[in-house]
Amino acid sequence: MELFSIIGMGLIAAVVCLLLRKTNPEIAMLLSLAAGILLLIPAFSQIQEIFAAFQSISSRYSALQPYLTTLLKAAGICLLTQFAGDTCRDAGESSLANRIEFAGRISILGMAVPLMLEVLQMILGFMEG
């Protein structure tokens, strides 16, 4: 039911922003940003549950900890860059939004390289042994 409330508030904020954009585009952009941040607040409880699940898995299987940490960081980068990119698009800066998202992709690739090298070493180890 919480999701329906978030969707409803988001749609109401979108309509108000649409109406304000014609007369006060600056206020509409600020309202859009504020509404976006407020709509994220309920997600924080779910984020805490996700972290708790990852910590539980990590404590049981300590060998997976580097992989889980990288996965969580990559997910965080995806979410933050998407939010920043969408905010820039709302402000009419689609080029800037694209650059932010590109930087996020590069950051994730940079984090993935050590994992890819480790997987390749494991495959080579299996082939040799």
Alpha carbon 74 to chain centroid distance? Answer: 8
In terms of pTM, does the model score above 0.85? Answer: no
**Tokens 């900890």 — which residue?**
65
First to last CA, the chain: 54
What is the tens place of the pLDDT at every residue in 71-93?
889 999 999 999 899 988 888 88
Count Cβ atoms within 10 A of the Cβ of residue 61 and give its class: 0-12 exposed, 13-18 middle, 19 or more buried. Answer: exposed
- Tell me the angle at which helices 43-60 and 65-90 cross, rounded to the nearest 10 degrees: 160
What is the tens place of the pLDDT at every residue in 12-33?
999 998 899 889 988 988 898 8
